[in-house]
Structure 1
Amino acid sequence: MNKKYFGVIPPIITPVDKRENVDEEGFCKLLDHCIEGGLHGIFVAGSNGETMALTQKERDKAIKVAIDHVNGRVPVMSGVMDSSTRRVIDNIKSLEQMGGTCAVITSIFYARHTSQDETIRHFEQIAKETNIDLIIYNIPMFTGLKLNAETVMKIAEIDNVVGYKDSSGSFPEFMRCLTHFKDTDFACLQGSTPYAMPSMLIGADGFVPSIAPLFPELFVKAYEAGANKDIDLAMKYDILLRETSKVLGMTKNATSANKFALSQLGFTDKRVIAPQDSIQPEEEQKIIRKIAEINEQYAEMKASLK
């Protein structure tokens, strides 16, 4: 097997300045931090990257900055999701011009979904227009359509569709995909962090946690435990990973929580794009305490393993 996309691949935030333009300097520092911390890839312009809140110009800028600055050190997956097949194809053409090699695609959104087949047609038409890698992204909370395992399997028959990111929260359907794609080059990535370790133990290729840049060593070691099928160790990491997920629930807006948490690294601002709810001072203090608690728990765990 020759998997291109595996390991811990964070859906990276898009740092922005006061005018909601990409903060290129801060973004580059954050990207370096992720790579130096051992994370295995970058997913730019995803939901956590506020991709649909950015202007098209700034969305393209975020993607180009990521591609150029990462410069092949790890794979870069770029979100090209949009509200029609034509719009996605146009986004992919822009991505190709920027040197992008991997596009992440959802079902269309802001539309009345009538069938699973529409998403199969969506990928079939897109694949005719490009030779770059395509990854299926199942995130029904934003698209309004939950892809089932059969649909994913049909889309995967298209030559340049190389992987699947599942943020549906439907673990049984994801398990069906893991069984179907076992011993193939097709990558199955878990998008829900609470399912990350169980998914790894039964054959997932990696997971896509938004908070990973804050705890890169923790997430990489958790991935390694899962990939090595070390059940006892993986379950210890599972407890900590589920604790990290609690950070995102400490505000009304998970993006606000994530951006504030990552701002504690010192590279980026906590700013989210209007009109989203921003974080409140009392929420900030809760997150700071939670980060300290997780770091303390991780230190204790590492000491216990020596």
Structure 2
Amino acid sequence: MELQLSGMIPPVVSPLTPDHRPDIGAVRRLTAHVRDGGASALFVLGSCGEGPTLEPAVASGITRAYVEAVAGSVPVLAGVGETSTERALRAAREFEQLGVDALVVMAPMYFDTDTDGAVVRHVTALAEATSLPLVVYNIPHLTHHPITPRALREVAAIDSVVALKESSGEWDTYAALAEAASAAGLRVFQGAEALIARSLAAGADGAVPGIANVVPGLAARLVDAGLSGDSTQAAALQAQLDDVCGVYRSGFWLTSLKAALTELGIIGSTAGQALTPPDADGLTEVHRVLVATGLVEVPA
């Protein structure tokens, strides 16, 4: 596979209209925002993008909108997070037809079967069904199927598997998977914001931070500093990024992220109906963090 991923890849949110349809104008604004900030690719339909929960037609509409907005300037990666391999195959084929450049494959999310075997069968089936490069995505607190180093070593032998995105948030888990991935020649990406600088110092190829929806430039500078070996600068930028991540503490993390983007005038706040929106105190806290980090000015 020719795709060589590196750098800062934002897992972009899915902008929705109040009636829960794709908000095309907001997709274009967010695409420009993260591209101008230094994104090396875009990851759509991940956890930030509500990929596993959107109606299939809405997920396809969001994907199409991002592909069109990017217009070939950077790769677009589409998340495939489904309860079964059968559903994942349907999604993968559709996203390939929509023109994405790679698929980010989570473990199947429902039945509690033998973890390693399920992961290997799942990734193998997707590799056989599509010509796209695959990124293996470990996010066990949401899939309830951890991808182990053993399973990763087996699927890494598949030609189309090119990278690992690790989002457990646990350093020991990350380190073990990163070692297995690197030994197999895969690129390695950290998905947990708090571990970006540490991961880059340990040899990661980049990061996929949700907070980059809000501060893509800061996230890109952090990744660049880490990749260049400037640990002092990376540590300083990591601290700044941690401060912006304070928006997550205002309520449910995803709706708080969308609330921050709403205050910045980039998207609307609509999210999945089951997701708790920030209350008045939560919105106040989002505003406080944006002001404290210099992203919103206080009127004179």
TM-score over 0.5 for the pair? yes
Q: 2:263 aligns to what?
A: 264
Alignment of 1:235 with 2:242, yes or no, is no
Shift, 1:247, TM fit: 1.5
> Quick one: which amino acid aligns to residue 282 of structure 1?
D
Matched, 1:289 2:288: yes
Give the RMSD, CA atoms, in angstroms: 1.7
Superposition deviation, residue 280 in structure 1: 1.0
Total equivalences in the alignment:
294
Q: Distance in 2 between matches of 1:280 and 1:293?
A: 20
Question: Which consecutive aligned stretches of 4+ in structure 1 deviate over 6 angstroms post-superposition?
Answer: none
- Mark the runs of 5 or more structure 1 residues left unpaired by the alignment: 297-306
Is 1:80 the counterpart of 2:80? The answer is: yes
In the aligned structure 2, how far is the partner of 1:17 from the partner of 1:288? 22
Separation (CA, whole Å) in 1 of partners of 2:237 and 2:184? 27
Q: Any conservation in 2 of the 1:24–1:65 contact (CA below 8 Å)?
A: yes
Structure 2 match to 1:301? none
Structure 2 residue ranges without an equivalent (≥5): 296-300
| 1:125 aligns to 2:125 (yes or no) | yes
TM-score normalised according to structure 1 size: 0.91
2:65 is aligned to 65
Instruction: Tell me the CA shift for residue 138 of structure 1.
Output: 0.7
Q: Which amino acid aligns with 2:244?
A: T
Share of identical aligned residues, percent?
Answer: 26
CA–CA separation in structure 1 for the residues paired with 2:183 and 2:38: 25
* In structure 2, distance between residues paired with 1:190 and 1:282: 31
Deviations 1:217-269, CA, capped at 9 Å, x for gaps: 21111111100111111111121122222211221x11110000111221211
Query: What's the CA shift string for 1:149-197, capped at 9, x where partnerless?
Result: 2222221111001111111123223223433444875211101001111
Q: Return the alpha-carbon distance in structure 2 between the equivalents of residues 259 and 97 of structure 1.
A: 29
Give the TM-score taking structure 2 as reference length. 0.93
Deviations 1:38-75 (A, max 9, x none): 12111101111112332110011111111121111111
CA spacing shift, 1:95–1:132, aligned 2, 3 Å: same
In the alignment, what sits opposite 1:255?
254
SS at match of 1:116: helix
Q: Deviations over 1:84-113 (max 9, x none)?
A: 112111111111211122111111012223
Bigger shift: residues 181-190 or 232-241: 181-190
1:24 equivalent in alignment to 2:24: yes
